[in-house]
Structures are given as C-alpha cells and as structure tokens.
Amino acid sequence: MKARSKVARARAPKESPPERAPKLVYTQAPILLGRLITKEEGGFRVALGSVERVLAIDPAVDPALLDDAISSGARVIVDSETTSIVGVVTTRRGVEIDRDDRVKARVRSFEIDAKEEVLLKVPGAFVRALGHEVEIYGDRVLTRARNMAKILAAMIKLN
C-alpha cells in the first residue's frame, strides 16, 4: 500500500505557478511634455522634442493659461492619443481658493491692473474704481487715521 500511494503521488499533476499578467509595453508614452512656441490658427505650435506640431486645445483648458505659458516658458501636457493640449505644468504658486470659497494670500505686494473697472463688493457695500472715479458705498463709511486725515481736492462737496 505504501508503494501505491507513492506512485499515485508521483503521477498526480503538479500545481503550476500562477500565471503572470502580461507586461504592458508602450510604443509611445500616453502623455508627452512639450514647450509652446506660438499661437496659430487652429491651435498652438508645440515643440515635442525635436519635432514641432500645431495642436488643438482640449475644451477643458483655458486658452489664457496657454498664452501665459508662452510668455513664461512653462511646459504643456499633450495627450498622445488625441494629440491635443490637455494642461500646463505650473512652476509657480497660484492663488488658492479653499473649500469654503475663501482666498488667503500673504504677499509682499499686491497689484491689479484693470482696463475698465475694479469692483470689490460684499452684501450691502462696495468699492468701485471706474475710469477716473472711485466710489465707496455702504450704510456707514468709516475712515481712520492715527495722526492726521488729509483730503486733497480742487473742490469738496458734502451733502
């Protein structure tokens, strides 16, 4: 009996090792990095290594972001399947909006250059700069000065 059990065990098929998943080999990378050269009709001219091509923009990408990328030299992300620009690689900090819709920034200097109007508003009050006028509106307008408040004008009218 002992001999039979050894023979039976010897003839039993051995368990084969688990099959390996096939290796995924790309013939071309799924995304490419490029450098924007110029804006042209039908898209943007992009340098992809030593090759230059005019590529379309994915609808999710803001074209103004690409204009900034040309001037700053930022790289763009190209989807090789659709051969379209799908994003920009930013290399500087941006102003962030948190989940509560608040913007907080600590900077040395802050400048806004508007061609027509600057408007800061909250419910019930606003500050507007339009043309050569600055308008301040609120239920109560308060001006504070530690030492002296100075108003310079050719004429002052108080209602």
- Which tens digits make up the pLDDT trace of 29-54? 788 999 999 999 989 999 998 999 99
The pLDDT assigned to 93 comes to 76
- The span from the CA of 70 to the CA of 113, in Å, is 20
The pLDDT assigned to 116 comes to 93
The pLDDT assigned to 68 comes to 86
Looking at 3.40.50, 1.10.1060, 2.60.120, 2.40.50, the CATH number of the domain 31-88 comes to 2.40.50
The tens digit of pLDDT for each residue in 86-140 reads: 999 988 777 877 888 888 888 899 999 999 999 999 999 999 999 999 999 999 9
Q: Confirm whether pTM is higher than 0.75.
A: no
Q: State mean pLDDT over 14-41.
A: 79
Spell out the residues 6+ positions from residue 120 whose beta carbon is closer than 8 angstroms to its own: 126, 127, 128
Q: Is pLDDT at 16 greater than 80 in this prediction?
A: no
The string of DSSP letters for 4-45 reads: HHHHHHHHSPPPPPPPPPPPP--SS-SEEEEEEEEEETTEEE
Of the CA atoms within 13 Å of residue 84, those in its CB half-sphere come to: 10
Amino acid at 159: N
Q: Is beta strand 117-122 parallel, antiparallel or unpaired with respect to 43-48?
A: unpaired
Strand partners, 36: 46
If phi > 0 it is left, if psi is from -120 to 50 it is alpha, else beta; for residue 116 that is: alpha
Q: Residue 84: pLDDT band by 50, 70, 90 thresholds?
A: very high
The pLDDT assigned to 108 comes to 92
**59-75 per-residue burial string, b: 16 or more CB within 10 A, e: under 16:** eebeeeebeebbeeebb
